[in-house]
Amino acid sequence: LAPLRAANLPVFFIVGGPGSGKGTQCDLIVKKYGWTHLSSGDLLRAEVQAKTEIGLKSQAIMDKGGLVPNETILDLIKIAMVKAAQGGSKGFLIDGYPREVKQGDQFEHEIQSATLVLYFEASNATLTARLLERGKSSGRSDDNAATIKNRLDTFLKKTQPVVDYYNKRGKLVKIDAERSIDAIFVDVTAVLDKIVG
């Protein structure tokens, strides 16, 4: 982790319910600011695709809408961050992480503290509708009605406390994610421009 610590790059946690637009907004942020986008879900799906031991173990959990053990996901993030730092990264969007308060604590303890947490807020009805729509073409085995319900339950039980935790620490910015992709991005850039200066 030495190259990563030496670089001391800004780290943004991107949090929101399933289907809140985290990945969508991260793609736009990368285009504008050039940071490195690391999606915990994408990292896990790459393992599933490659049929690694981690992938085989994670798939069943993801298909049920549960949470993969933090050791697994944090290791994947660390490896990707070190590689990106060595490649000249200017900062990180850590998307879909932390999903539990202890995940955030462990990250900040083992790697570095987060500059800011962006929270995309949307109702369960909106999240469900978006994921069912995506499910028609995504081929993702977790975009079906039963798993979506479990993912929403997991968010409420495990991830909502993350939102409250960083809010209390003055590190959270809440963004209304019920609107169009472009309208949301206007708010996102207003927040990030202040930090980038």
DSSP β-bridge partners for residue 13: 94, 117
Nearer to ligand B4P, 91 or 104 (CB): 104
Q: How far apart are the first and last CA of the chain?
A: 28
Rounded-to-integer distance, Cα 87 and Cα 85, Å: 5
Restricted to residues 72-101, the positions that interact with ligand B4P (CB under 6 A) are: 73, 96-97, 99
Rounded-to-integer distance, Cα 101 and Cα 159, Å: 7
Restricted to residues 129-158, the positions that interact with ligand B4P (CB under 6 A) are: 130, 134, 142, 151
* Span from 29-37, 47-55, 65-73, 82-90 in contact with ligand B4P (CB under 6 A): 65-73
Q: What would the x/- binding string for ligand B4P be over residues 115 to 134, using CB under 6 A? A: ---------------x---x
Q: Is the dihedral of CA 40, 43, 46, 50 positive or negative?
A: negative
Retrieve residue 42's tokens.
């994408």
List 4, 9, 41, 89, residue binding ligand B4P (CB under 6 A): 41
Nearer to ligand B4P, 33 or 155 (CB): 155
Nearest one of 163, 175, 177, 179 to 122, comparing CA atoms? 177
Question: Do 97 and 73 form a contact (C-beta atoms < 8 A)?
Answer: yes
Of all residues in this chain, which one has the CB nearest to ligand B4P in the complex?
41
- Bond into 161 cis (ω within 30): no
Q: Is residue 44 a contact residue for ligand B4P (CB under 6 A)?
A: yes
For the beta carbon of residue 94, count every other beta carbon within 10 angstroms. 25
Restricted to residues 169-188, the positions that interact with ligand B4P (CB under 6 A) are: 180-181, 184
Nearer to ligand B4P, 6 or 11 (CB): 11
Contacts with ligand B4P: how many residues (CB under 6 A)? 29
Summarize as ranges the residues that interact with ligand B4P (CB under 6 A).
18-24, 39-41, 44, 61-62, 65-68, 73, 96-97, 99, 103, 130, 134, 142, 151, 180-181, 184
